[in-house]
Structure 1
């Protein structure tokens, strides 16, 4: 490792290229957090040069470190240095110099333009791609950088890359960070050179061309000679990843996904030694996570318990958890990169391409779970219901079953999913705790992994043998009791109720209606017996002249059944508000005539003319029958010792 202090001029007058590897994150510096403070530092150094302190040399401004690793040249080409760390600083300095170059060109300041051309452009050799650029940004930034390079002015850049208007808010979308940085520096340079606003001195005359030239020349001196960096050139035996992680322990937060990506492609560079091969790997296996078209999915902020992180990090968490070999092991989101390193050493041969293939295979299934593209895919439907139930703790088990053991479970996938969904939905309806399910599923995966063959029978038998409130698969008896008596509307979230009723709705369709299944995420949950029934429209079910105890008993029974599934249905919002607390004969007519849902055709189909506690229980029983068809649980066959003896004897 060879550190040395250099000025921006020393760094950029060399005829070489500073290549930001394709696996580095995109340019992310923004105006408020980094660009404006940098400009204020540059302005401070320029003002020191404008108002020199006699006998005192201006102190240089330290910008931080850049870590470089020289790449082996092939043929006649400029020396290329791979930027291990400091790409944001290098790219920003180039954008500042390009903005200053273009302003000087617009004012015909030939000397300044010549100096800045030497710091932003290499003389052409053979016309090879990007050889003239001093800094070659990461792949995803190159189109924006090329637009800045080719435009030569903010006005022309705006023509090449016009602002995009947001339809909903009717305002311009934020500019890409790299283009925004060039435009910010262009405005700042013009404002300093042509006005006195940044000098905060109203007594100064408006700058004429002589003063504009002086200010631009001083600005060039400040940037090229007063900005100082520490340049660290790595030796062949230095570990770039260790140095990168150490230098990035503070500052702009690097997500575990960034660290994993850097680790893998630094390792790929070691293995292949040819950038074209590394780029091919990146484009084949990793680009989907960074590409602007698919990055919205992987970079979306999601919650896992008390943590908020990007979805790609959550995928890594579930993937690494699925790879654990012991149920007493643990992975924490806060130590995800360390967990990846442990897995790399323990489970892989060190072949980068094999690891990238594995990650891609798992991520394809993970996305199928999280973002289903069809309603008929049973696994994707399960994923949709899992998100509603907020039970992502099962994801590692699913990755084990349907990716690691895909060849064994593929033919029985729908059946396995049906059993797992039954297990979870029954627990939700029965109000059983979910806190320990992560341990249940981790233990299940590690124990099933010991089997040579894993199919539906093995998964089902495992679930049937779980016991106790923290793990059991509720029986029909418990499921029925809770279905008919639990105040679901009070104990379950509204999305969970909608999910359950939607499933009951779909189950009643024939094979000819399946393609028309309505998605009922936005439907309103309606109480058939209203939550605030009036005495006139909904009289108590007691004999005339009944005593207070009988009335209270009837009142309590009605209240107990009011929020059960037997009294709940789904309707559109307008229909919900129109029915309100109406009498049953009005509601029945509205539901039968205005709603196409099977849930509401029930009243006409079974000729229901009054709605009382008996009717609520009867409908609850009917819906329960459908629910057990959707989420069945096989009975555990109990065989007596005598029967076993008879079987052995026979």
Structure 2
């Protein structure tokens, strides 16, 4: 018999049930499993980059790929319905993938059949079955139209509208809302480009259903928060780095007769290239190095190596290198010094400031898909005859490409990486050097029709920028401030601090002039929809994240939902004024929209003084977006590269060494 103390100890133990579940088990075709997003959770917030990364992982990894954890608690007393505590963004995205498979299966069914008799073809039967299965996965019951995944408002309205297509309803065009907008990206960009045949679609559906998540179920919210914290604690499973370290020790011992200490010293030198002053290694940077090292120098395929397959590929590579007598770990230590300049340019002791500055810009643009080519060029710069001027030209072209790509969202990330591998192969096969390398890369990037001037302008004018990519938006605003014509706010007495941080928080943050978020104050409703204030929320959703509605400020938290202008207005001599965004003033200085930023000069029509502008409307936002779009296509144009013998390359090379051009 147990003692009373033992029984009490058992009662106090947290009850946790952890199971690996495939998507097919999480969202089964039969059963009443349901998932509720509780009121205290966030709305759906994943951007295109996160969605595309998950899509690429499912496409490129083997079936049964592990995508992450799902933390849940029972909803009230139900055993089959749970509240989602962590993992809701991924779960919603997976359900949108299922819906996109259903939609594209329908499109294939609508295509004319080769045998147009009265019988349904075998292919159509399979598509009918696939659609039936997905409908069951997405819905608890067909009669009530109750979705298996129950979201918060306003996500719920958009999700329900999207699900209407499985009942034969015409799609509701509410693309300005976040969740439907992301679904449009999935269906019209990711799926439309990827699946050309029903067989390809079926293959993806099978992979999608096979993905694995660790579903952790606890009894209550308090326990869930404890488990959530432990997910993010310092405890780590074995990583690719740990496993590769073992492989290098084994190969060094077996083939080169190195003792373990010698191998570990080389390994520590490799890790030190990606470590801070306290010796903490940036594991993500090392993993990036390993993947890009393989793609840039060892991969003879157009397909990029994935984290899931990297260990197997490296095991084969290490064996081959060490059997031939090459100490491949030493080779990697040398290459790591180069790659560290790419991912941590601020630490690079480069004698060429213009190179470091351009590498820093590429980092801010999250241009990781360029890394194989960039790594290849920097590591081989000597025998490729790439001096600082030629490298600057190449980096300018890459910055221009990624600015334009992050605005238009094409080409897809996976396609960019494949392009970079193609460029490497072409340089190698044609034995290009010097200006020929510059002509090859700049010419190819600049010729892509998806990112031409018209495509960039169209993307900026038709949709938001901030909700598409916050980091690129911040980069653009800072670059515009530095490079637009006009008087500078900064000088020797007041140095440029646009990139500086205070306690990990940017000193300058992005300000939405028309505020984002629900519950617009009445003055803003009347400003953007004077004829029908009840329609203001709809207009706000359409224009609030456009580039023309954004500026920079160090006082974002103070401005919040203040009106553009207010009565009484600022009176000359007032040291402090806090009633409007336009006239916000601290200690005798304008720090709101009247601050002397070049960005703020476009808030008004030409020659209109800012103190005479009383309101800020959707028309103002669109006008200013068009002006900034024109500036962007000009500032981020591609260097002119002409045929051999022309002087265009040299002309650009002379410009990029001018400090003002940096």
TM range (shorter): 0.3 to 0.5
Q: Which has the larger radius of gyration?
A: 1
Normalized against structure 2, the TM-score is what? 0.46
